[in-house]
A and B are shown apart, each in its own frame.
Chain A
Amino acid sequence: MQDLGQDIIKLEKDEFLPEVQKKRNENWRLGQICCAFVDGTTYEVSYSFCKDLEVVHFRLEVGKDEEVLSISRIYDSAVFYENEMHELFGLNVTNMAVDCQDKLYRIKETTPFVKKEEK
């Protein structure tokens, strides 16, 4: 775990799911999941968890062809965020509880946030 300031905590992929599970056990809410595609190579995925007024952000860095494990089996409400990331960014999220097959927004363009050539 590496603190990036701004309460953003960088996690390695293997410590990720256990950490999330821990949050769930401690009754934290899932605040949001946000994906950003930076430098044409990596996805930065931020997971925010809230409890009362507190918030922590977990940060995963994912290579553009790598996979991320879904947390939708821990937090049901992650389904919407993860499908959105898949549809708009092309991020490979595996093991989603509900897979909308890129039909969440039903847009014409594929992965508009990541241009074809870049990907």
Chain B
Amino acid sequence: MSKIMSFTKIALKNLVSKPATTSYPFEPKEYPERTRGHVVLDDDPCILCGMCMRSCPPGAIKVDRAGGTWAINGYDCIQCGYCVEKCPKKCLSIVPGYTEPSSEKTIQTVKVEVPPPPKPAAKPAAPKPAADKAPENKE
């Protein structure tokens, strides 16, 4: 039983009803809460143990113990969440909102102050900026 133009009904219905198209980018997109957008570090609990660096499949995270920095290359991270799972301190989380496209592959670096284990910290840590708010951009 062949028909010609059997799609007509659907086509005409589509023609008169509202298109399925989103209004992005004119209106922001709302993401479901589980969306894996990018990894953020809560630098407070981080001990710069480097577990995340070692477990990250593409090697997007660099933990510099000596320099006291934790850095992520958002252009290398595959949002797998393995670092989040592995972090012993549970200080990583993966949240909605993707790394913005840009013409440079910037690395976000967060200064992490780890209280040296033997002695208490010399200086009380000033309130740390959140990773995604004030990243230090480095090539």
* Chains A and B directly touch (beta carbon < 8 Å): no
Residues of A at the B interface (CB closer than 8 Å) are none
Residues of B at the A interface (CB closer than 8 Å) are none
